[in-house]
Amino acid sequence: MMEGSTQAHATVEQLGRSGDGMVRHNGQVWYIPGTLPGEQLHLRFHNGQVELLERESSSAERVTPPCSLADRCGGCALQHMDSTTLLDWKKDQVERTLTKSGFTDLPEPSLYQTPPHSRQRLDVALQRVPGGMVLGLHQRGGDPVDMTECPLIRPELLALLPALRQCLSSLGALTSCGNLAINLLESGPDLTLETSAPLSGSDREKLAAFAREHHIPRITWRPAPGKMMETAAQSGPVFHHFGGVKVSPPPASFLQATQEGEQAIRNAVLAGLPPLNRKDRIIELYAGCGTLTFPLAQHGFVLAYEGEKAAIEALRTATHGSRAEGFERDLNRQPLLPPELNQARVVVLDPPYAGCGKQLASLLRSKVQDMVYVSCNPAALEKELPAMKEAGFAVLAWTVIDQFLWSTDVETVLVLSRDLKRIRKAEKKRKG
């Protein structure tokens, strides 16, 4: 045995937020990737690190990962867990967050899990290696793993990867590493490429030929995240429908990860609206380019706010003839104020991963009685829910959507109200 190293046996108590099994040793907490609650482990502790020597028992919830890259690729932390148990684990996380924030006596949640082969949005790292190009997700804290298979993504995306890899490895602009975002839109895959050096004329010709051959309507290039984008190749129009309305999403725009998840979110949001007249105003915050706006516009008049210029421009262009109006606004710098919010019969919000920041306080100070909150991050919810409880809101319904299968991410739709009549009605319905 090496100096300073000790060995011990421990049982995994629970999964941590990153999906790793948690054990205790000498009063300290350790996380072991690839292990599940109840499993007994033989561990070695050395230099402040833990090493799994042997998994001595297997949980009944353990399954064989469907992907041979599962132990390396950073995309899926929990492929070794039965997916029904995984959905339950995600539900428990949200439930714990709600109860911790004071929302007890909760209604039964609705649960939804997206199937394999459904991911329509992909963000992959590119790395030049001797003889070719690696295209894939990073291993945890390491290099990208070549995506030679993936049971998560849509089959048409997987089928495109070999030709894409070949095309990208022929580009002079990819001297070392880069990034590629793909949104699979109705018009076809929409590609946004970042490269380590500028695109040459010959690179552009190669991308244009690739776009024509593989029916890729648009390939956009930018030198780095946040930098100006330019179209590198365009072989046709770019479009997608949201709630029956045709939108032309900008490059690298936000798109829900799967169509099935998008539909589950939309259904939960629409089911959570209070009774509305068509004249009633719905204020939608963080609207993107209209995923929820146009379905909502069939129930009331939507005032949609979004901070990203290109996204709100796409939304505004598509609003002609619909019952929605779009506004560009950075809701952190310039949150909607109570007098603006008070005109809404209901507020629907779908903030980014970090949550809704400064916007929340003014929302809670307003007279708004009903909200539908879409969250992709229980940790952000944990920060924000206590203030909602304090401001008198009750949870009328909650839906947990496992849109990111085999990962630890979880999407939640919360229907919140402080309208006592509506709360009582919902309670009566639930209990009686």
Ligand X SMILES: C[S@@+](CC[C@H](N)C(=O)[O-])C[C@H]1O[C@@H](n2cnc3c(N)ncnc32)[C@H](O)[C@@H]1O
The residues, ordered by sequence, that sit 6+ positions from 340 with a Cβ below 8 Å of its Cβ are: 283
Residue 186 interacts with ligand X (CB under 6 A): yes or no: no
Number of residues engaging ligand X in binding (CB under 6 A): 18
> Of 73-81, 113-121, 199-207, 285-293, which part binds ligand X (CB under 6 A)?
285-293
Of 36, 33, 34, nearest to 13 (Cα)?
Answer: 36
Burial grade of 225 (CB within 10 A; 0-12, 13-18, 19 or more): exposed
Site string for ligand X, 245-264 (x = CB under 6 A): ---------x-x--------
| Residue placing its CB nearer to ligand X in the complex, 158 or 416 | 416
Q: Which of residues 330-359 bind ligand X (CB under 6 A)?
A: 330-332, 350-352
Residue 413 interacts with ligand X (CB under 6 A): yes or no: no
Residue 371 interacts with ligand X (CB under 6 A): yes or no: no
Measured from the CB of residue 162, what is the shortest distance to ligand X in angstroms?
A: 30
Measured from the CB of residue 266, what is the shortest distance to ligand X in angstroms?
A: 9
Name the H helices within 237-393.
259-271, 293-296, 309-318, 338-341, 357-365, 378-390
31 has binding-site annotation? no
Site string for ligand X, 303-322 (x = CB under 6 A): ---xxx--x-----------
For residue 276, CA distances in Å to 126, 245, 345, 370 come to: 48, 21, 8, 11
Residue 289 designated active-site: no
Among 93, 291, 369, 408, binds ligand X (CB under 6 A): 291
* The residue to which tokens 């003889």 are assigned: 131
350 has binding-site annotation? yes
Structural tokens at position 297: 């516009």
Among 287, 344, 371, 397, binds ligand X (CB under 6 A): 287
- Is residue 260 within 8 A of residue 115, CB to CB? The reply is yes
Catalytic residue among 67, 167, 289, 376: 376
Measured from the CB of residue 405, what is the shortest distance to ligand X in angstroms?
A: 18
Dihedral over Cα of 165, 171, 173, 174: its sign: positive
Residue 61 interacts with ligand X (CB under 6 A): yes or no: no
Residue 403 interacts with ligand X (CB under 6 A): yes or no: no
306 has binding-site annotation? yes
Determine phi and psi for 126, rounding to 5 degrees: -120, 135
Report the alpha-carbon distance of residue 74 to residue 70 in Å, rounded. 8
Of 103, 89, 104, nearest to 384 (Cα)?
Answer: 103
- Is residue 86 within 8 A of residue 406, CB to CB? The reply is yes
User: Which residue numbers are catalytic?
Assistant: 376
**Which residues belong to the annotated binding site for S-adenosyl-L-methionine?**
256, 286, 306, 350
Give the binding site for ligand X (CB under 6 A). 254, 256, 286-288, 291-292, 306-308, 311, 330-332, 350-352, 376
